[in-house]
Structure formats: structure tokens, C-alpha cells
Amino acid sequence: MAENLNLFTSTQNVIKEALTKLGYTEEMYELLKEPLRMFTVRIPVRMDDGSTKVFTGYRAQHNDAAGPTKGGVRFHPEVNEEEVKALSMWMTLKAGIVDLPYGGGKGGIVCDPRQMSMGEVERLSRGYVRAISQIVGPSKDIPAPDVYTNSQIMAWMVDEYSHIREFDSPAFITGKPLVLGGSHGREKATAQGVTICIHEAAKKRGIDIKGARVVIQGFGNAGSFLAKFMHDAGAKVIGISDAYGGLHDPEGLDIDYLLDRRDSFGTITTLFENTITNQELLELDCDILVPAAISNQITEENADNIKASIVVEAANGPTTLEATKILADRGVLLVPDVLASSGGVTVSYFEWVQNNQGYYWTEEEVNAKLHTALVKAFDNIYETAQTRGVNMRLAAYMVGVRKTAEASKFRGWV
């Protein structure tokens, strides 16, 4: 809980600093420091054993001045109000960074889907949509997958919403299966976005990706796709890790072999004897370090020991604010999470556009549009950091918050 409160307050702190740098008043910070709306719902679900269990769900809508709110729904036992609020604010920033006509939203249900049957998860998913149906919709608030939710859960949710509204509403939710109006490229979008940011950062530092030594912490969805993309681009992935430890080979790991052997949770290191700790992995001598696991991994304790010249955050909040300052002072180029992981929301936007116009793009078209959007966002933030003399995280927050602040001002809210 303290960690989520920390995430919430640190997000507020950087938003405040960004607004001050942009010349906005205290009133604008008062408007943007919390979501405009925060819903708590109770969802009764008939379980397989005949009993009824009541689950708690949340939906935060941070700000809809620039357009409908947008953001994922996570199913996790530790979901709580502070986390959902903070993540809805991050979605506002991501939408602003990639210049999407959205504000940020986020949802969650306190549950452990790993301990539930498919039928129970389906009834819970449909119950959540019924509970929030009046406040969501294609032009109000558009959910998407997140932690422990997937395209199947989105399919149940869009079906339930279409029943309630009595017409087919594919644009109500993104991350759907292709046959229900999903977009090509959505599954790999986050890793693809991180890869684009790695390439752009390497160009700024004069590093050739071919032969560059890359370390990736985390081997789940984002981390494994990333390792494959880097390997295929000719980089040497010299270190990867999962929750149980890390693997290191200065000559480069056999990524295809590891992908073939890992389990559905991204676990691979348990098959090996000579493993290293996650902490040792972060401090390996490399060119590019990608924390793609959990938050608070690079702290003021170990920031001085990071040997990479580029750090690209694929996870949410892997570097603390103190560590960010230390890395910036040491000349390390840090590409912040709100920029690096914005590929997912960008392709979600593409899915929503395709649903609204009823015309669907090829994977090549999606990838080309994603590349254009992220290169533009990267250059904008890098330029802001250089001209304003601030680190990349603060620059990203400045770019990210500007759109919503301007829209709120034009609407006369502040």
C-alpha cells in the first residue's frame, strides 16, 4: 500500500514540477492532481460451488478535457484506489506524449484470476461492465487489457456492453480479438514501442544496435518480445532475468532457445544452475539496460553502479526520482516509462479509429504509423530536455501534461 501511495504522490510531484516549468498556476495543479471522477463498484458473482462472492472494482477518469478517457483494466489481488488513480494520471501523460485525443482512465478489480475458473472470470468481467456501463462508452471512457486481463476478457466485456446498449459497439473497448474488431500489431505494441525508443536513443548516443550489449530485466510479455526484437536487430542480449534470478553471457544469450523453454509466466532461470541475482543483472557492464519487470528497481542505493549509457524503462516506475537525478547527473540517457511504454495506448487508439470508421489496416500499416508517432514523440521530448535543461522524465511530463492543461484552459475550467 505504501508503494502505491508513493507512486501516487511521486506522480503528483512531477506533474506539479512540470506545470510550474510550463508557467501554469496552482489552480491548474489543483485540477490535475487527482482524477475528476473515481468510481468504486461492488460486483456479486455466482461462483462454481454455488456461493456468491462480492468483488470490489474501480474506475478512475483522470481528465476528459482533451477527449474521452482511455486506459486498461487490471485483475489483481493488490489492486487499490491509490494505484488506479496514479495509473489514470499516467495514461493522461502517455496520451499527451503521443498526441492522442484522449485523457487518462484506469480500472481494476480486486481478485486473483489465477485462482478462478474461466466461467468465474467471465461472470466477473461481465458484472464489472454492468456496474460501470453508464460511465463508459466509445466517446466517454474506453477500457483495454492490463495486468492479468487479455483479449478474451475484452471480448466478454464488449459482448456485455453490446447487450446492454442493444447495438454492436466494438469501439467501446480495445485489445479485442481480431475477429471482433481488434487491431493487427496490438499484442506486440508495447514491446515494439520500447524497441523504437531504444533505436532512437542509440542514435542520439552514436551506438550501433548491431553488436550493442543489451540487458533486459524481466522476461514476461514485454521483456520476451523485446529480447527477440533486439536479438533479431543484431544486438547482443547479454543478460535477462525473471522473478527467480538472471542469466548472463558476455557473448550473448541464445534468445530463441530461451523463448522456446520459458513457461507461460515468463519463468526460465529455474532451468539453469549458474544464475545471478536481479541486482547483479542491473549492474552488468552493458550499453543499454531495459528494466521491464517491476517498480523501484534502480534506487539511490544502486544508481551509481549502473554501467549502461542508456536506460530505457519498459516497466512502470522502475527508477525512483532520486535515482533519476543521479543517472542524469552521471550523463546516462534515461528514456522514461511514460514515453517508452506508450506503444500500447497508441495502437489502442489505432484500434478505436478503425472501429469508428469500419475500415481495418494491415500489420505493416499499423507498425508504420506506430513508428511515425513514437519517433515524433521521442524527438519532441529529447528536444524539450535539451532546450529546457531538464532530465528526460521531467521533459516527458511537461510534454504529456501540456495537452490536457491547454484543453482545460480553453474549456474555461481553470
State the catalytic residues: 106
Q: Which helix (H) or strand (E) holds 353?
A: helix 343-357
| DSSP code string of 249-298 | -TT---HHHHHHH--TT---GGG-SS-B-HHHHHTS--SEEEE-S-SS-B
Q: How far is CA 203 from CA 194, 196, 291, 376, 377, in A?
A: 14, 11, 20, 14, 15
Closest CA to 173 of 183, 184, 359, 316: 183
CA–CA dist 139, 327 (Å, integer): 41
> Which candidate, 75, 155, 66, 60, places its Cα nearest to that of 114?
75
Q: Which cell numbers hold the place of 156? A: 466478454
Dist. CA 286–CA 408, nearest whole Å: 44
| Residue 355 near residue 348, CB atoms below 8 Å | no
DSSP state of 137: B
DSSP state of 108: E
Cα angle 171-177-179, degrees, rounded to a multiple of 5:
85
Which residues pair with residue 55 across a beta bridge?
43
Sequence-distant (6+) residues with CB within 8 A of 26 are: none
Q: Which residues contact 336 (CB under 8 A, 6 or more apart)?
A: 313, 324, 392, 393, 396
- 211 phi/psi in degrees, rounded to 5: 90, -10
Alpha carbons 8 and 310: distance in angstroms, whole number: 26
